[in-house]
Amino acid sequence: MSLFTGAGVAIVTPMKANGEVNYEKLGEFIDFQINNSTDAIVICGTTGEASTLTHEEHIEAIRFTADHVKGRVPVIAGTGSNCTETAIYLSQEAQKAGVDGCLVVTPYYNKASQKGLIQHYTAIAKSIDLPIIMYNVPGRTGCNIQPETAAKLAKDVDNIVAIKAATGNIAQEVKTMALAEGRLDMYSGEDGLIVPLMSIGAKGVISVLSNVAPQQTHDICQTYFDGKTQEAADLQFKALDLVDALFCEVNPIPVKHALNLMGWDMGPLRAPLCEMEDANLARLKKAMTEYGILK
């Protein structure tokens, strides 16, 4: 059984003006997401600025989210690290917090060979009883889970159940699904490729777009599940300019600005992330207005 199907939001982490995590706002935003058909909450991923949270903040954000959601939708915690022991620690703490699964990114900067990736993911998986979604985003990490490696892990390790695919290489994702022989769920890690990856069997998306358009992103997936392939594609096409604008600077800079434009008061970004360039901010406003989420 899949951890979830549909659109899981890679949720932002709201900050107070002084840079502290704003848990009150996070609770409000979680409720907004669930009330607008988001199918899962993914806390402390890239979009949640996990890389600049302290370990204590990271764990508390996971714990708060699990407690606040109260089982209404699955909660998946980002617990990856470029240090295997740190990833084990965060994953174990996430399990104690009561989440439904862990999202574990490939090691970044120090990277790993394919043999090292097998050892890394196997060690993390064996340390917990939760299902794991591997997160493959080589553009950010410089490390790519090859299809043969993903398939081996899925077949050899019972609780490695899915992969978040953000390579931009559909041929690679096709090969991954073929080699896994039904043992590995896939989620698009790119909002511009939801329908294409669902056409090869993906279960949905872990989405940045869902932050600003949760109902619409859910609808892209549900329309496809309902067998209305062309309608789903049309919804995908309609979102294209907004998706491009949300990634015109490093994620999560644009999406946090977008939410602030929508009145959410998500606060500042943590350094080294910074304010958007004026031209890109104008592009974002235009795309949001044309999509109908900003007046």
Task: State the pLDDT at residue 1.
Answer: 82
DSSP H or E run through 125: helix 114-127
pLDDT tens digits, residue range 192-201? Answer: 999 999 999 9
Domains of the chain: 6-226 (3.20.20.70)
pLDDT over threshold 90, residue 295: no
Residue in 178, 196, 81 with CA at minimum distance from that of residue 135: 81
pLDDT tens track for 236-271: 999 999 999 999 999 999 999 999 999 999 999 999
- Give this prediction's pTM: 0.97
3-state DSSP helix/strand/coil percent for the chain, to nearest 5? Answer: 50, 15, 35
Triad 230, 185, 167: Cα angle to 5°: 75
Catalytically annotated residue among 135, 187, 224, 291? 135
The yes-or-no answer on residue 121 being catalytic is no
Structure tokens at 19: 């840079």
The percentage of residues in the chain with a pLDDT greater than 90, rounded to a whole number, is: 99
203 is catalytic: no
Point out the catalytic residue in the list 152, 164, 203, 256: 164
